[in-house]
Amino acid sequence: MSIKYIDGIDVRGKRVFIRADFNVPLDDKQNITDDNRITETVPTIKYVLDHGGAVILASHLGRPKAKVVKEMSLLPVAQRLGQLLGTQVQFVDDCISDEAVARAQALKLGEILMLENLRFYGQEEKNDPDFARKLAAGAEIYVNDAFAVSHRAHASVEAITHFVPVVAGGFLMKKEITSFEKAMLKPERPLTAVIGGAKVSGKLEMLENIISKVDRLLIGGGMAFTFLKAQGKEVGDSLVEADLIETAKTVMEKAAARNVVLLLPTDCVIAEELKAGATTKTVSVDDIPKGWKGLDIGPATVKAFSDAIAGSKTVVWNGPMGVFELPEFSRGTFAIADCIGNAAIMSIVGGGDSVSALKKSGNQDKVSFVSTAGGAFMELLEGKVLPGIKALDV
C-alpha cells in the first residue's frame, strides 16, 4: 500500500475534513463515560491546527437508523473535545445542510467545526455519492482517522475520497495499520495467535487466513469445543457448531501440514448453568459430563497457553477464553491477559471483548498496541482489503 499520512502532506492554509470515530458511550444524562476514542484522535487534530490548517470533523454515534435522535447528538463530543484541546469547537446541528456547508467553507485557520451525526442520514451507510459530495463541499483535504469504521464502504469513508483532491490517513490510522503489519506481515518469530470467542462461524475466515502466517495457534473460548468434538471427544452440553465439525478438522489438518503448533484446551471450568453464582468444577476435556457446559479454560490449559506465549516474540490476541463477564468463568481470560501483558513481546490486541478483558485485568497499558476497532481488526485478520484503506491507497 502507498498510503499518505497526514504528516506527509501540506495542510497549511487548507480546510481539512477529518473522519473520526467518536462513537463514545453516553449515560442517560448525555455524559461521556469513556472518552478514549476522542483522545486517540487529538494528535491528528492538533497537527492540522499547529500547521496552519482548519478542521472539519465528522463522525457517527450509535445506530439512529437514518433519523434524528437527540440522545445520539455529537454535541457532548464537541464539548469534551474543546476541553481536551483548550479551544472552542464549533458545532452545527446537521452535516450536509446549506448552513453546514457554509460554515465549513467560512472556517478560519485554526478553527474547528464538528458536524452532527452522519448516521442521521441513511445516505451515509448507503455510500451515496451525492451525500458524499455535500460532505466534501467545504474541504480541500480528506483525512481518515477512523480505522474502526474503515471496513464499511460508507459515504464519509469511501465515496467522499472521490470529491476531495488530497486524501490521507491520520495518526491513529497510521498506528493501526503499521502495528498490524508489524505483527502479521513482518513479525518477529515465533508468531502466536490466541483466538477465542463463542463460535467458530464468527472466526472461520480469520482462522483460514492466519493458519498460513502463524507459528502457533491457541484456540480457546466456546469455539474450542467444536474442535474438541472434531477430535472425537464428548463435550457434554458445551457449545458445538455441528455443521462446522468437518471444517474444524480441515483447519487442524492444514495446521499440521504447515507445521503450525495448534493448542486446544486440555481442561476446562464447567457448570450446569451459565449464571452468576453457579456451582463449577474443573475437569479434563475428556471428562465433561452430560448436562454440563465448558465455560472457561482450566489451569492446565492456562499453563500450556502461557508457556507458548512466553516463548513467542509476537502475539496477536482476538477473543476471550471463556465467559469472562462472570467471575466464575473469568480466570482463564484474565490469566492470558496477564501473561500477554507481562511478556517481553510485540503484542497486539483487537476485538471488543478482548480489549474489555484487557482493561478489566489491568493490562491495557502493558501491551504493545490495543486496536480501537472490532470489525475492522477482524477483517484485516481475515485477509480482506478494507474499503476505507483502499480509498487512501493512491
Segment holding 22, helix H or strand E: none
* CB < 8 Å & 24+ apart, contacts of 275-281: 275/326, 276/326, 276/327, 276/328, 277/328, 278/326, 278/328, 280/328, 280/329
Task: Please give the backbone phi and psi of residue 282, each rounded to the nearest 5 degrees, phi first.
Answer: -110, 120
Instruction: Annotate 75-90 with DSSP letters as a single string.
Output: HHHHHHHHHHHTS--E
Cβ-in-10-Å burial (0-12, 13-18, 19+) of 113 comes to buried
- From 199, 313, 359, 390, the catalytic residue: 199
- From 13, 291, 352, 362, the catalytic residue: 352
- From 82, 341, 374, 375, the catalytic residue: 375
Q: Is 37 a catalytic residue?
A: yes
Amino acid making up residue 280: T
Distance separating alpha carbons of residues 42 and 140, to the nearest angstrom? 20
**CA-based nearest residue to 286, from 238, 235, 218, 241:** 235
Q: Is 199 a catalytic residue?
A: yes
Segment holding 28, helix H or strand E: none
Q: How far apart are the first and last CA of the chain?
A: 8
* Three-state secondary-structure class, residue 297: strand
- From 19, 37, 119, 213, the catalytic residue: 37
* Three-state secondary-structure class, residue 205: helix
Detail the DSSP E strand segments found in the chain. Answer: 15-19, 54-58, 90-92, 112-115, 141-144, 166-169, 191-195, 216-219, 261-263, 267-271, 280-284, 293-297, 314-318, 346-349, 369-370
Q: Which positions are catalytic?
A: 37, 199, 352, 375
